[in-house]
A and B are shown apart, each in its own frame.
Chain A
């Protein structure tokens, strides 16, 4: 399954040389994180520690079991904490 992976500009500047969008093959969030870590070694740690993920706009904490859809979008955004 092909999914579009996206990062904020700040995150991309720090970790992916400024590239914000990637098309990768994955079935779940574990697959997404593993593939991005293959492309950018060490990125998995940053994704787990620093981000919340929007899967087709729906917010999730990083949970590897979360499925992703063919043609779907996985957008990593900074983790958010409330009051």
Chain B
């Protein structure tokens, strides 16, 4: 690991940052509070909870990629001894057809309820058809086998380009493309067309010395979280329902489940289980409404969980895509225009992250003429879900590949080309607003200065560079703080801890209070014990929930000063808080011995009762994430296998609260990007059935596939956050695919334009080259 401050020379293999110099806890690496329960196997994940009388739920899934459901007969299953409830879509209320909310997250509950349980048609292999709750899993499985479903099998379509062709099998016979004027008169699988632009791309291309255009395809890839989806629901006779769920947002699960089952939000209480990875895939619901309905029908608690196969067949990967990108550049390296068409698979229901793909595609660059068109396209695959910087890595693969081709065409170093065109504060973005934060140039500069960038490579080896951009999120978060009688502190938030937020919340509270990190305990509260908090996603938690924690800590400090004033018989204005102590200030200086947190806590009852406070924020002013990476690869010309020799990942991290977690995020993003680049894909057979729904055949990288990953933390603090935080969890997955493709091109002279760049595809390309 190396760490660099903005504008200063990089120091090698050191963790000294300005954070360490300025702060007591921020920038240090204390022991994570969730570590011991996890390594000792005691942490309670979604599948671990077992309640008295609990039933086992099982979902029956469609074997067909596309089929009309003519009938579902559950009578034989209901009669099987041990079966306590059977449900179909008929047990869920009808939902209005309406896109509610914004583009990317527009919720259409007519679609959502049909994704949770099919109604008129099964739209992908693995689509849920019915569900059973029984006294054992084997009985539930047997009961599922007894459910008779009569299908009329229909032609299917998997590939996005095929799905867009006239005459392609239609998933929805009445789908008219939104965003086209005048509206088309015939239905298609294109749910929506989007267009963004600034400047005049035609003029920009006319000013270029070199114009390069190329087509690309990416595969749909799964988030591959280690823990499959799981939840337990317990519906009581009074209509109150408790749910324990592994998700990225228990408030989101509560709201979605309430709408799907037709309950009031106040009737549901959702407790977050520990979560074994999400990466965006656990921001949506699949099982909670099913478990709640089965529990309501049976009167008993019900656990429903997915197998790994269920995860692949029935939960959302990110989109695969088909893209075209064109870039014009002058001989001096000035990029004059960037244009792109991005066609994203949405899966079986509308809602791919194509808008994000369009908005992020050219965002790192100061180019006055930009244009992007996006298409959201349905096909017979599981509905796409968010995956780390959703949309951005896909368009980055295409754009960063063409940027590299431009660099080669004009004979310029690829980092120099990026530095020359790097966006700055005030650079317009394709959506219109100007960039308000720096950070991109600094990541490029960090790699230009990195000693490994000068290392000479051997035969069949090549070096590739790429960059990435992600907005980062903010929004609503809540936090509460309690000071205990012994001076210890409890911080509760509503953010499920996926990336180490309990540690970072405790660190920010300790830093603000001026007390030891070890006296602060951070927990995640259920929906009944904390205010609304948006999902743990969008790299928002350390920023937004951290802001709520800092705010609530400041409120508590004010209260502590007030209580010290009572004990000293002075006005509250005569007390300041410093280094964990209430100290006399102004005219009172020197009159009293400072009071520690513990001393004030011991007098809580006499000074007004419990010391506690709450804070809710709708945080804004988040800074985006920028990343630039390079990797060295070696291509085996005999087998087509690509070996990653070195990977260096620079990222603007704002200020690293806990650098180990930040490095972990970068390592994880790079590893997932390597998998996306080299091996991961859904392999469908002629019937539209998935042939590789498991980790043996869906090839995620393992340790032996990976090099040491050098995470370069570039600190350009965000001035809108009390500790300079920027989100760090997503942008790291944007550059790897293009970096690897560019490295392969430099190694063997082959431009790979389709993911994954697996050995058979590289070998085929080598053979075609001759």
Interface residues of A (CB under 8 A from B): 6-10, 13, 49-52, 54, 56-61, 63, 66, 73, 75, 77-83
Instruction: Let me know if A79 and B622 touch, CB within 8 A.
Output: no
Instruction: Let me know if A80 and B436 touch, CB within 8 A.
Output: no
Set of chain B residues within 8 Å of A79, measured between Cβ atoms: 101-105
For residue B280, CB closer than 8 A to chain A, the reply is yes
Instruction: Let me know if B279 and A9 touch, CB within 8 A.
Output: no
Can you list 23 A-B contacts (CB < 8 A)? A7-B432, A9-B196, A9-B197, A54-B433, A56-B436, A57-B425, A57-B433, A59-B436, A60-B474, A60-B621, A63-B620, A73-B433, A75-B433, A78-B103, A78-B359, A79-B105, A80-B104, A80-B359, A81-B538, A82-B390, A82-B727, A83-B390, A83-B537
For residue B461, CB closer than 8 A to chain A, the reply is no
- Given contact pairs A10-B194, A61-B618, A75 touches B280 in the complex (Cβ within 8 A): no
Given contacts A77-B431, A81-B283, 10 further A-B contacts (CB under 8 A): A9-B197, A56-B434, A59-B436, A60-B620, A60-B621, A61-B619, A75-B432, A78-B104, A79-B103, A83-B537
Chain A residue at minimum C-beta to C-beta distance from B425: A57
* A78 vs B730: C-alpha distance when bound (angstroms): 19
For residue B207, CB closer than 8 A to chain A, the reply is no
Instruction: Let me know if A6 and B620 touch, CB within 8 A.
Output: no
Set of chain A residues within 8 Å of B445, measured between Cβ atoms: none
* A69 vs B450: C-alpha distance when bound (angstroms): 42
Interface residues of B (CB under 8 A from A): 100-105, 179, 181, 194-197, 223, 279-281, 283, 355-356, 359, 386-390, 425-426, 431-436, 470-476, 537-540, 618-622, 720, 727, 730
Set of chain B residues within 8 Å of A9, measured between Cβ atoms: 195-197
Instruction: Let me know if A80 and B620 touch, CB within 8 A.
Output: no
Set of chain A residues within 8 Å of B386, measured between Cβ atoms: 81-83
Instruction: Let me know if B435 and A49 touch, CB within 8 A.
Output: no
* A58 vs B472: C-alpha distance when bound (angstroms): 12
Give the most central of B102, B181, B356, B386: most A CB within 10 Å: B102
Instruction: Let me know if B436 and A61 touch, CB within 8 A.
Output: no
- Given contact pairs A60-B474, A83-B279, A83-B538, A49 touches B620 in the complex (Cβ within 8 A): no
* A43 vs B365: C-alpha distance when bound (angstroms): 32
* A58 vs B100: C-alpha distance when bound (angstroms): 25
Set of chain B residues within 8 Å of A57, measured between Cβ atoms: 425-426, 433-436
Which 3 pairs of residues, A with B, have the shortest CB-CB distance?
A82-B538, A83-B280, A60-B620
Instruction: Let me know if B389 and A50 touch, CB within 8 A.
Output: no
Q: Shortest CB–CB separation between residue A44 and chain B, in angstroms?
A: 15
* A14 vs B622: C-alpha distance when bound (angstroms): 28
Instruction: Let me know if A82 and B470 touch, CB within 8 A.
Output: yes
- Given contact pairs A61-B474, A78-B355, A83 touches B387 in the complex (Cβ within 8 A): yes
Set of chain A residues within 8 Å of B223, measured between Cβ atoms: 83
Chain A residue at minimum C-beta to C-beta distance from B282: A83
Instruction: Let me know if A82 and B432 touch, CB within 8 A.
Output: no
* A82 vs B279: C-alpha distance when bound (angstroms): 9
